[in-house]
Structure 1
Amino acid sequence: MAVWTTFWSYFWGTLTVVPFLGFPLVYLSVYMWKRNKRLAGRWAVNITNFLVIRSAVSAYELIWPEAMSAWWWVSCFFLGAVVLLGWLQVKLKGKLSLKKVGFSAWRLSFLWFGLVYIVLFTTGIIKTMGVV
């Protein structure tokens, strides 16, 4: 039992440090299971998005441990993105589809938190190098 606990601990730790490694793992797993490239791609992007958000939050909390929780920033991003995309959709199309707005905010968050993760990862390395 201790072997599995250690394995899962290292596995999740690796996915926290390198969240983009989750994309090929999920893609290959879902493709082998369902034999559908499109479905595998969707699953891989969604799971990788969760991993990237979790990694960005972890990096933020390691760099600034006494700062406000990063989950507040994540919540504010999603709230702001949904409001802005909803307003934009009403202006352009004249009607609001929360499903499309939510989907767009989720996909936009993949790009945003991917960039935030890279910046925080680099900041963490620079900060650590400054201490040494």
Structure 2
Amino acid sequence: MTFFGKLWSLLTGTWTYFWAILTAFPFLGFPLAYFSIFAWKRDRRLAGRWAINITNFLLIRAVAVGYSVIWPEAVSVWWWITGFFVTAIALLGFIQVKWKGKLSLLKASFSVWRLSFLLFGLVYVVLYTTGIVKTMGNV
């Protein structure tokens, strides 16, 4: 194998392990994103918003992987995630129309995205605990 082949193999392996660690422990993405963006932009609020958004993506990925590992024969988790977002945006949009008389899908979507951080954080902890209990039951 050539030097560049070995270098490419090392880089792809490192990248794969990095993503595996962030999938197993998505909350590690928060300080990584926060400090990277803060070092780049020198804005704490912007860094905090971006860190929450990136961690939310990592949480969704971790929940999807955890669900498929614990229940491999079940319905795809992406249907559940899509259904959650569509239903939550529709509910918040309905509440907006009732209270304010007009609909802002952008505000409803951002609100659901922020709330999903809390929901997927809770689901991640539940799935992580369920996976540990299920694995210990097989031992």
TM-score if structure 1 supplies the norm length? 0.98
Stretches of 4+ moved more than 2 A in 1?
none
- Match for residue 36 of structure 1? 43
Give the partner amino acid of 2:80.
Answer: W
Shift of 1:92: 1.2
Percent of counterpart pairs with the same letter?
64
2:108 counterpart residue number: 101
Amino acid corresponding to residue 94 of structure 2 in structure 1: W
Deviation per CA, 1:100-130: give whole Å up to 9, x if none: 0000010011111111111001000000000
1:131 aligns with 2:138: yes
CA–CA separation in structure 1 for the residues paired with 2:125 and 2:84: 17
1:22 aligns with 2:52: no
The one-character-per-residue Cα deviations of 1:5-41 (angstroms, maximum 9, x if unpaired) are 1111110000000000000000000000111111111
Secondary structure of 1:66's counterpart equals: coil
- Tell me the secondary structure at the aligned position of residue 59 of structure 1: helix
Where do 5+ consecutive residues of structure 1 fail to align? none
Distance 1:24 1:31 in 2: 10
Which secondary structure state, in structure 1, belongs to the residue aligned with residue 74 of structure 2?
coil
How many residues were matched structurally? 132
SS in 2 for 1:47: helix
Quote the RMSD (CA, aligned, Å).
0.6
